[in-house]
Structure formats: C-alpha cells, structure tokens
Amino acid sequence: MKIIAIIPARGGSKGIPRKNVRFLNGKPLIAYAILNALQSSYITDVLVSTDDEEIAGIAYLYGAKVIKRPECLGADAVTLDPVIYHATCSCEKDSGEADLVITMQPTSPLLKAETLDSAIAEFLHGEMDTMISAVNRPHLSWGEEKGSYFPLYEKRLNRQYLPKHLMETGAFVITKREFVTENSRLGEKINLYEVPDEESVDIDDYADWAICEMRLSRRKILIRTEGYPEIGLGHIYRSILLVNNLIEHDVLIVLSEKSQLGIQKIQERFLKYRVVKDEQEFISLLEEEKPDVLINDVLDTAKEYMLKVKPLAGRVVNIEDMGEGGGLADAVINALYEKKVQGEQYYWGHKYYCLRDEFLIARTKEFSKEVKNVLIVFGGTDPGRYTEKVLNVIKKMPTDRSVVYQFVLGLGFDRDETFMQSVEQCEQDIRVIKDVRMMSKYMVEADIAISSQGRTMYELAVMKVPTIILAQNDRETMHEFGYMKNGFINLGNGVNVEEDTLRETLIWLMHTPQIRQQMKESMTRLRLTDGIMRVRNIILGIDKPDLSRQ
C-alpha cells in the first residue's frame, strides 16, 4: 500500500513565534514528527507542507520531501483540509495515487513511532474510514447555556471512575484517500485511537513547550541498593530521597531478596522496584532496561562488577564506595568520608550529604541550660545493640523524673518484647517510639542525643542537637564528620565503650551548658541543606560549577 504522511508546518505561528524550527531538547520541533514518520513500518512517503524556506531546509536535512505551499494556503484563517489536499495531490503527480493519508502535526513531539504504527495496524485491520488520535481526560465537566450552568455528568465520582472523556490530541489523523478533499479529511466511519497520556501533549503555548521539554529530557535511572538488619536502612532512605528529587525521571529501585526490610519501606511509599536473586539476574535486568544512569548504593564495589555493569548504562554513579570499582565509575559520591582516594570523579565530604525533605523545612529548638529531653536513636536496625546498652546506663543514672529519655526504635529493631520489659524496671521517665515517620518531630524536642556515627548524625547536626556518638563498627569510625569540630562528642566504636564511660560522659554533658552551647554553635555554622541538589546534578551529569567541591 502507498501510505503518505503529511506534516503541515507554517512559518508564521503566533502562540510561540517560529515554534516549528525552535530547538526542543536538542532538535527542531518539526524533526520529531519527521523522524516518527520515517521510523514507521507502514509509511512510504513523508512530506512536509510549508511556506517557509527555513522549515523546508530543516525538513530536507531530516529526510522528508518538501511540498511548497501556495501563498493562498498560508493565511491564519485557512484550515488544514485544503492544505492536506494540496500536498496529497502534489505527491500523487510524482509517485502515483495514495491509499491512506496521515496528517501528523509537528506540535505533538511526544508521540512515539511505536504508537503511530500500532494505530496504523489497527486501522488496516478494521473497517473504518478515519482514525483520530485522542486522549482520555475524564473530569467533572460543566456546560453553560444562557448564563446557567449544568453538569455534564450523572454522578460525582473520583476521576478514575468517571466515564471516558476523549479529546483529540492532534498527533495524527489517518484517512482513506477517497475522503481527502479540499473541505474534509473525515469519512463516515470514524474511530478514535487512545494514545498514552505521556504522549498526548499538543504544543499551543509556552507551558506546553515546558512540559514537552521536561518529558523529552526524562531519563531512565536505576538504583541498586540494599536494606537488611546487618547494614541498616540508610541506603534505603537515601534511595527514597533520590527518587523524590528525581521525580521528573523514570526511576526504578532494585534490591536483593534478603532486603525484606528495605522492600517494606519502599512498598510503603508506593515506589517502583524490582527484586533480583543474584548478580546475574541483575545484569540481565540491566540489559533489559538499558538505563541512562545506574546508581550503585551498595558500599564498596569490585572491579569485576563494574566491568560488567558499565557497558550496560549510559552513566554510572557510585555512592559510599571505597572499593577498587570506584575508579571505573563516572562519579563517586562519598559524603560520609573526607578525601581518601585521588581522582576527578570523586566527591568527598558533608557538602554532598543528602538530607531528607523533612529536615529542609524543620524548625530547631532554642538552647536550654537545663536538659529536659534526651533522645536515643541508633537507626533502623541497631546491629550493635547499643539501645540496650544506653538503657542500662540510664538505669544507673540519678533518679530525676523531670528528664525524659526518648528511645526511637527503627523498623528493623527485633527485640521489642525484652526491651520493653527492661524499660518497665527503670525508675526514669522513659518513652519508646517505634519506626517513626517524622524524625525531626522528636529531634526538635531534644536537648541532648545519643546516636551512632552514621547518617542520623547529619540530621542531628541540622537540628542542632549536641550529640554523643557511638560508632556501630570500624567503618563508621571513618565518618570524620562526627567529631567535636562539628558539635559531637565521639566515644569511638561503641563495642569498646564501657557503660561507666558513657554514663559519666552523659552526666557531664547534661551539667555543662557552656559545652552544649558550643556544640550547638558548631552545628549552626554547618551548611547541609544544598547537598541533595549537588548530588542530583552529579547523577544527571549536569555540568555546573561546584565551588564547594573538595
């Protein structure tokens, strides 16, 4: 069959001047329609009807035939029907009569060639004269007549339960040749083809243009991460944060089967995820997805692993990677460590720490000379069992019911029953909260905190809470942020800290307001709120000067 696609493109567009030749995400607007038509398995001829020399030149460069439009068909009031009829007749003079004529508007750059071919195939296998692209936009609509308004629906329902409300998108009109005349392109049997919402934008104004620019620059991003009791949930929380700050992109989180705690957290937030059983299945997933960006948030990577994944992604970004594989990444973000390894792709230090959204807007507490609230928090799982150690310390503290000790237990804390039994034996005012959603709510009440040397200490710094630090393991002791210069008393690896040492340190800090005030002031000097934007730019490879880079 001879199937011709005609792309009408005037030079005198009014809403956005010269929009057909303006660059949209790196290409002239009209190029998208031309390339879709050329990629079609069915279309035999691609024509651009124009009255503009520049449009004609671009159309030729992208592989379309150019039909010069007569001046009489270039006026604002002229409809598309005579334009399409003229282009059809001009084409037929050179290459014979067409069977189908497809009108494709250059103002629908989000349409995919696969969608266009699917519509043509449906048309060819059906009994219809004309098919028009449409999108389903159900809404509670109203009509107006003589100043009175009336509903165009029977029942007030949520949008997903409303009947279809189909609107033409302008992407394409497929018509049998005999129905293409100077006054019409519609036959008697008309069908609508629903295009996906993400392909439906028809550019009329600058707002439409901005939406298309955003969607065309959308990237497929895959985050490889883990979250289980032995390593905690810090990687999971960061992955969730990254998804929230890459909302305009298509992000998929990938975990192993052992990350049941992490999977639960991701499910609670209704995020896209996949579970793989081993590295080979992950490699197969990479081959299937072909991501623009792969983020490895799995601690140290090996060279062998990186050699496998790097050819399968456009860009590879590693987080918290001190392994040999980091040297093969396009970027390595190590916010928890100061500079350890040389290399232009490495980003070190707290300036790249990603704060959760709640800490970007949270208020902080005024300094109090008296300590009335002590917060104890050791992350999602507390693998070192420091929660129990601190409770034993508090049991031996002088009884003072005016001080509240708040224990926050993470999702992965699996010793609730025995811990609560110990709490009941304590004379202090102890309150226990499990798996909180808004940690800042509890941090803002604290005069002192006891925590591990992981990600939570950055949140405590933003909330300006003087904190005693117990590292969960030797790797955490390398997190050089958690020291006095930044407002922390660091007791080292908590395994080696005697309960008497911890008790004496806590009592001393509670009774030395001048030290606590100095610690709070040290935290006040820190700037941690810009980290997420720096990391976002690194992930996307946005080349912006970063004067804070170490």
- Taking residues 332-360, report their average pLDDT: 88
β-strand pairing of 130-136 with 166-176: antiparallel
Whole-number pLDDT of residue 72: 87
SS (H, E, C) 18-65: CCCCCEECCEEHHHHHHHHHHHCCCCCEEEEEECCHHHHHHHHHCCCE
pLDDT of residue 228 exceeding 50? yes
Whole-number pLDDT of residue 292: 97
pLDDT of residue 208 exceeding 60? yes
pLDDT of residue 549 exceeding 50? no
Whole-number pLDDT of residue 544: 52
Mean pLDDT for the chain?
93
| pLDDT band for position 157 (cuts 50, 70, 90) | confident
pLDDT tens figures, 414-448: 898 999 999 998 899 999 998 788 999 999 999 99
221's CB contacts (< 8 A; 6+ apart) are 246, 249, 250, 251, 252, 291, 292, 293, 294, 295, 539
Cβ proximity of 173 and 207 under 8 Å: no
Whole-number pLDDT of residue 184: 95
Whole-number pLDDT of residue 257: 96
Domains of the chain: 3-215 (3.90.550.10), 218-355 (3.40.50.11190), 363-524 (3.40.50.2000)
How far apart are alpha carbons 11 and 32 in whole angstroms? 17
CA dihedral 462, 228, 423, 444 (to 10 degrees): 10
pLDDT tens figures, 377-399: 998 888 889 999 999 999 998 88
Whole-number pLDDT of residue 336: 87
| pLDDT band for position 412 (cuts 50, 70, 90) | confident
Q: Which two tokens stand for residue 331?
A: 């970027």
- Taking residues 209-224, report their average pLDDT: 95
pLDDT of residue 169 exceeding 80? yes
pLDDT tens figures, 296-329: 999 899 999 999 999 999 999 999 999 999 999 9
Residue closest to 391 by CA, chosen among 420, 434, 414: 420
- pTM, 2 dp: 0.79
| pLDDT band for position 550 (cuts 50, 70, 90) | very low
Whole-number pLDDT of residue 161: 85
Give the sign of the dihedral formed by CA 382, CA 384, CA 389, CA 390: negative
Taking CA 527 as the corner, what is the angle to CA 526 and CA 533, rounded to the nearest 5 degrees?
Answer: 155
pLDDT of residue 545 exceeding 60? no
| pLDDT band for position 547 (cuts 50, 70, 90) | very low
Whole-number pLDDT of residue 380: 80
Compute CA distances 346 → 235, 335, 453, 541, whole Å: 19, 10, 22, 13
pLDDT tens figures, 98-136: 999 999 999 999 999 999 999 999 999 999 999 999 999
pLDDT tens figures, 16-33: 999 999 999 999 999 999
Whole-number pLDDT of residue 543: 60
Whole-number pLDDT of residue 229: 85
β-strand pairing of 27-28 with 23-24: antiparallel
Whole-number pLDDT of residue 179: 97
CA dihedral 458, 463, 468, 469 (to 10 degrees): -10
- 255 SS3 class: strand
pLDDT of residue 219 exceeding 50? yes
Residue closest to 40 by CA, chosen among 100, 98, 121: 121
CA 229 to chain centre: 26
